[in-house]
Amino acid sequence: MKKIVNLTPHSISFIDENGNIIRIVETSGDVARLTTKTVVTGEYDGIPVTETEYGEITGLPDPTPDTIFVVSSLIAQRVPERDDVFIPNESVRDNAGRIIGCRSLGRIWLFFRGATYLHVAPLFFSLYIIFL
């Protein structure tokens, strides 16, 4: 059985279809994050408009045998080539709409795993030309 390391700041409750908690995975104490820089780009009716630039990942260990890492969607999107990185998926909410858990471990879907921009750009360019 693989070890599950929760690199989010919260414990994760996995809940079945009947509302029963299957398992709780406590936070590891380490959190995988993206460095960010926020830039003010304008104003709308007195409210600042900003853009956030995402940088490097911090706190995500290198692959470890028999271990999977649970991270935020933002982190998982940055490392699609990693088969050991998962997200809490299929949120379960209480009557007030608060997330109380999830149903599964999820993966970020890719056109095909390990794809890079250089792999898929010619395909999308070809589709663009076809539909002009």
pLDDT of amino acid 109: 73
For residue 88, the enclosing domain spans 3-130
The β-bridge partners of 52 are 38
Domain count, the chain: 1
Predicted confidence at residue 108, as pLDDT, reads 83
- Torsion, CA 56, CA 58, CA 63, CA 64, rounded to 10: 170
- pLDDT tier at 91 (50, 70, 90 boundaries)? very high
**CB count, 10 Å around CB of 77?**
15
pLDDT digits (tens, 9 = 90+) for 31-82: 999 999 999 999 999 999 999 999 999 999 999 999 999 999 999 999 988 9
